[in-house]
Amino acid sequence: MALILGIESSCDETAVAVIDGSASTLDARIVAQHIASQDAAHRPYGGVVPEIAARAHAEVIAPMVAETLADAGLTLAGIDAIAATAGPGLIGGVMVGLVTGKALAMASGKPLLAINHLEGHALSPRLADPDLAYPYLLLLVSGGHCQILEVRGLGDYRRLATTIDDALGEAFDKTAKVLGLGYPGGPAVERLARAGNPKAVPLPRPLAGTAEPHFSFAGLKSAVLRAHESGKYAQADLAASFQQAAIDCVVDRTARALASLEGSAPPPTALVVAGGVAANAALRGALEQVAARAGLALVAPPVKLCTDNAAMIGWAGAERFAAGFRDGLDVAARPRWPLDANAAPARGAGVKA
Ligand code: KG4
Ligand code: ZN
């Protein structure tokens, strides 16, 4: 494997990393990395404002590339390829990172790899442990996506489930907004939930126990809002009860997906959770039990690799570089880019592929 410069700018983190695909420890594989969070810029609006995000990426990305290369003790001449997120995400931000990657590739004559951000999340457990073998069952839970995928190999994904409305991280963020916990909401809800009673507030578990494989969180979010407005419940109890309901849904859907793979050949080597919400300790604990019941281990990358970062983009680039993939400088930025282009559409109006 090789030295890859990774660039990520699809949402509200600008991130640059240098990955050494052949190093034997995680610390050595991440040669250098920088992450600039835009939380402070978006906080007054209670969510990510696309125009502010794109501008903020453009302001910091070039110096961040220079700093990251300097930290790695490298110049572009020592890099084997440049891997930049090309989607899915907020298109203005994606374009900033992809155009930066293209410019660096053109100036250095090094190959460009256009990376699907979701593939970055999907392969992040292999950055932490390259011995994690394909195929594995992946629960991908982030601010924009909530999917269960069979990861059969590099670039070979079969989507088993997706959300018919909100993503799991979005449900955490909206609950945080209702409770006045600010942005980003997931970590704040998790912190407050530790002080609350998860059984205090009766909340629905949308789609749990149903034969269809998908997720739904919009009804849960509305129920949290109604319970909050009733004035009957303490903030911590609302947070804990929401988190428990959301986790119950995820557990039910994941167990269903695992059961649907029973007898499949080759069988999954592990249950893997990745994406920003995989940072949630209560979710990890519940999934460990789901995996154990199916006779599998739960694999979750370290928390710092769960939320958006460029190390996972560089790693996806390293896997693609080693497999011989190369992209042209005319590759387009994509607001939507499903990992499984053949997945049947899920029912529902606001479906997120
Ligand atoms: O993967 P990510 O950094 O960005 C996207 O690609 O969307 O995921 C961000 C999402 C946000 O919705 C955030 O609230 C959620 O992950 N999140 C959490 C936790 N940490 C981050 N949700 C629940 N518990 C957490 N500890
Ligand atoms: Zn992400």
Pocket test for ligand 1, best of 277, 304, 306 (most atoms within 8 A of CB): 277
What type of residue sits at position 332?
A
- The 3-class secondary structure across 101-131, one letter per residue, is HHHHHHHHCCCEEEEEHHHHHHHHHHHHCCC
Pairing of strands 156-161, 146-153: antiparallel
Nearest ligand to the C-alpha of residue 276? Answer: 1
In angstroms, the CA 39 to CA 60 distance is 14
Structure token pair of residue 295? 């006779």
- Give percent above pLDDT 90 in the chain: 91
Residue 345 banded pLDDT, cuts 50, 70, 90: confident
CA angle 250, 252, 255 (to 5 degrees): 105
Q: 191-200, pLDDT tens digit by residue?
A: 999 999 999 9
Residue 237's closest CA among 272, 203, 207, 276?
A: 203
Query: In the predicted model, is pLDDT for residue 329 greater than 60?
Result: yes
Q: How many whole angstroms from 198 Cα to the centroid of ligand 2?
A: 27
Helices (runs of H) and strands (runs of E) counted in the chain: 12, 10
- Give percent above pLDDT 70 in the chain: 98
Side-chain-facing half-sphere of 68: CA atoms under 13 Å: 30
Residue 46 banded pLDDT, cuts 50, 70, 90: confident
Average pLDDT, the chain: 95
In angstroms, the CA 218 to CA 260 distance is 25
Three-class SS state of 139: strand
Q: 81-122, pLDDT tens digit by residue?
A: 999 999 999 999 999 999 999 999 999 999 999 999 999 999
For ligand 1, atom 8: residue with the closest CA: 276
Q: Is the minimum distance from the CB of 111 to ligand 1 under 6 angstroms?
A: no
- For residues 149-173, give the mean pLDDT: 97
Provide the whole-model pTM. 0.95
Order across the sheet with 13-20: list the strands.
Answer: 30-37, 13-20, 3-8, 81-87, 112-116
Residue 337 banded pLDDT, cuts 50, 70, 90: very high
